[in-house]
Chain A
């Protein structure tokens, strides 16, 4: 990306943050809280998610067979099935149906797939009056805007915005103020249109192959009316919506509302086996007719989906039930919504998979960087899609696609395994390990140089490093060098190999030293590993090959240690997450050995204490008041609780942050175009840690980037939890 393009993007994001940000934030955070509350009521949420995942895996595996079965069932019921190859094919078919019944007005219930194929424009071009009946969609139709969220399309608009819009558009007799006023006004206007419509278009949340039944998940009742009030029903759905049987709907119906807007279930789930056997209603002539007069067309849209099914990395996208959990749980999405974090049709974390599959890499490239790989969506997804991985893979493909335009450059000149033409900013952050080694070797000169105005302006212009961020200060003596001279603990009960990640080794050496002293105080012999680069930095930039090389190097060094009975302990949560999850994609079966044999530092300390290690030489809390922010990936893995437990057990008075992510997310907050989003995300954390009960507390965080973000935003310095317990602190 050029410097100018970065500036334009930064400006667009600033504008959306200012205009739409507050409404998007209030709504998505409300949905997200609702999700936590609603899934907590389930007897076994995880089992339900596993069941939903199993059904989707099976359905996509057997998709061609299920589509045949579905077609046979729908046709036996008296409906028609059309499989549309692409968007143009789908719209052509629907236009023909509308023309055949001489339809003048089409009413629609909410359907993202019709947005994807741009059905409204196609019908309007034929002179058909198309009316959206979902209240949110109708607001957008009146405003001539696009959805900012896949489930609640108008969340970027406040009640006041909608009142102003209706007043300007319709000049109502009574002033419209409350949400109830606005709803009643819209209901009335739409009722007239529904009653005078010829064709009803719906989507379908699920289709059951055994019976030809479609499930429509709604709350307003507009989908029911759309189908009931019209004689011709057209349902437009992606081919991936088919599942084997009616019984298979159960876990999805329990999960979809909870995962999305935090409702246990939506008001209506219509299980329609069309043509529906309700009487036809002719409002104009005040007549009813026999159900036999109803016609039904199911348009199954391929539009890239069958190719996604053949793609090992994009296939999981087809499991998506479009609940919006990944958007609502995403700290970045909460700030900007789908008008920044979205493509042509879809928005939020999984949108990268959808847009790459149905539109192409260029569309995905416009917003893919908004996914920081924090993983907070992974546990929220009801079908367990590895959304960060899909984002990483697509980023990798974008890096390679960019290369085609720079094929005159020589790959051998680059310091990594990536193509020559990839984005400079991504290459810089992806090679942070190399940079850090150079930085320490030449410190303090490297730090002085990097701090000059000239250097910062150049870095901003050419590499997109925002000059408002403080750069890391490299230490002359690395953590590894410090550790090399230490005597080992005699007769240790356990032996640990401490993984010195790049930041601990070159920048935050104090936390590494504290970690060694804490472990030794608990009777553990510690050696510091010779490898430092887990591959996290390149992976975050979509440099998969470079990350794989790093993983190989780590495995060569650490797997023999595990095999020899030593435990690997990791200070940096994002690197611990690499070992626990990402390496499954990067390594062979050595992944399992390393995952089983490696621990988050405080997970390990917790285990030592639980097994009787005496904490008396550690620095105990004695009521010290701390405010602790766990790293996003610790939260996803569920290991954040160990830090909280250890600190509480050792006498610290701990409050914890409730935000999903600090907003820095590795290099994300350093990037010029995303600086404002990063700060906006961090503002929630600042609010919590400057509140009355937290303002005087020592700020504690586990992740490097969280510590950097907190230092930048809070104006009081933060510490790693190991530094709290550091025996050396007793001498302070």
Chain B
């Protein structure tokens, strides 16, 4: 995986701040502790891919509907970050990245810093290649879910009301 320039990462983090998305920066060995520190129990999660560390024991890897419904926190990997927007890309998987990132109130996304790209055009370029190869689905998630339909802006509509990003340095 390529190395992302410092300026791109700074911009990504600045965007996260503006979206009220909290973040921590760690390395592969620190992921377990970093995730554990921000999880509010009960927590469910999807196993992290190789090289991204491991989930703490406090996070159950269970996407049964009852577990999703009961969980306060959902932990998933993210496969891209978009610096211009503070977006993370959540790629759907048979082990349930989509429901895990959607049903609990707090979503914790674990993202390698090397996956942060500068802008939307670059992100769509990467996604185009991937989708043409494997036909997958992806969600560009930017901040918490929100609605303005009830007379004022409210965060936390059908999806999570809070988002935390764990940035994993190589």
Contacts and interface: CB of A to CB of B under 8 A. Distances in A.
Interface of A: 77, 133-136, 139, 152, 154, 157-160, 162, 178-180, 182-183, 186-187, 190-191, 195, 210-213, 219-222, 224-225, 228, 245-247, 249-250, 253-254, 261, 264-274, 276-279, 281-283, 286-288, 290-291
Given A220-B145, A221-B102, A277 B93 contact: yes
Given A211-B131, A213-B131, 15 more contacts: A152-B149, A179-B150, A183-B157, A190-B158, A222-B157, A225-B103, A225-B158, A245-B128, A247-B125, A250-B120, A261-B148, A268-B140, A268-B141, A273-B135, A281-B63
A265 B142 contact: yes
Interface in B124-156: 124-125, 127-128, 131-132, 135-154, 156
- Ranked 3 nearest A-B pairs via Cβ: A159-B151, A221-B159, A246-B128
B94 A246 contact: no
Given A267-B143, A267-B159, A135 B128 contact: no
A270 B141 CA distance: 8
A50 B87 CA distance: 24
Contacts of B93: 277-278
Contacts of A224: 98, 102, 139, 158-159
Given A267-B141, A271-B131, A154 B94 contact: no
Interface string B54-80: 000000000111101100000000000
Interface in B106-121: 120-121
B65 A246 contact: no
A158 B139 contact: no
Contacts of B139: 224, 268-271
Interface of B: 63-66, 68-69, 85, 87, 92-99, 102-103, 120-121, 123-125, 127-128, 131-132, 135-154, 156-160
A247 B154 contact: no
Contact of B140 (A221, A225, A269): A269
A273 B137 contact: yes
B131 to A, nearest CB: 5
A158 B87 CA distance: 31
A650 to B, nearest CB: 42
A279 B63 contact: yes
B21 to A, nearest CB: 11
B94 A281 contact: no
Contacts of B103: 225
Contact of B145 (A77, A268, A270): A268
Contacts of A253: 120, 124, 140
Nearest to A137: B149
Most chain-B Cβ atoms within 10 A of its Cβ — which of A246, A266, A290, A291?
A246
Contact of B147 (A220, A274, A276, A290): A220
B158 A220 contact: yes
Nearest to B122: A250
B47 to A, nearest CB: 14
B160 to A, nearest CB: 8
A521 B127 CA distance: 63
Contacts of B137: 213, 270-274, 276-278
Contacts of B120: 250, 253-254
21 contacts: A139-B149, A159-B150, A162-B151, A179-B153, A182-B150, A187-B156, A210-B128, A211-B128, A221-B159, A224-B98, A228-B98, A246-B124, A246-B132, A261-B148, A268-B139, A277-B137, A278-B93, A279-B96, A283-B69, A286-B64, A286-B65
B158 A179 contact: no
A246 B127 contact: yes
B92 A179 contact: no
Contacts of A269: 139-140, 142
B63 A271 contact: no
B88 to A, nearest CB: 11
Contacts of A134: 149
B85 A264 contact: yes
A247 B98 contact: no
Contacts of A249: 124
Nearest to A246: B128
A286 B66 contact: yes
A646 B139 CA distance: 51
Nearest to A76: B135
Contacts of B143: 267
Contacts of A135: 147, 149-150, 157
A136 B144 contact: no
Contacts of A159: 150-152
Contact of A179 (B68, B123, B152): B152
Contact of B96 (A261, A266, A288): A288
Contact of B159 (A178, A268, A282): A268
Nearest to A219: B146
A265 B82 CA distance: 12
B159 A250 contact: no
Nearest to B96: A279
Contact of B87 (A77, A265, A281, A288): A265
A158 B102 CA distance: 28
A264 B145 CA distance: 14
A221 B124 contact: no
Nearest to A178: B152
Contacts of A265: 85, 87, 140, 142
Contacts of A213: 131, 137
A268 B127 CA distance: 15
Nearest to A261: B148
A614 to B, nearest CB: 49
A267 B144 contact: yes
A213 B136 CA distance: 9
A210 B132 contact: yes
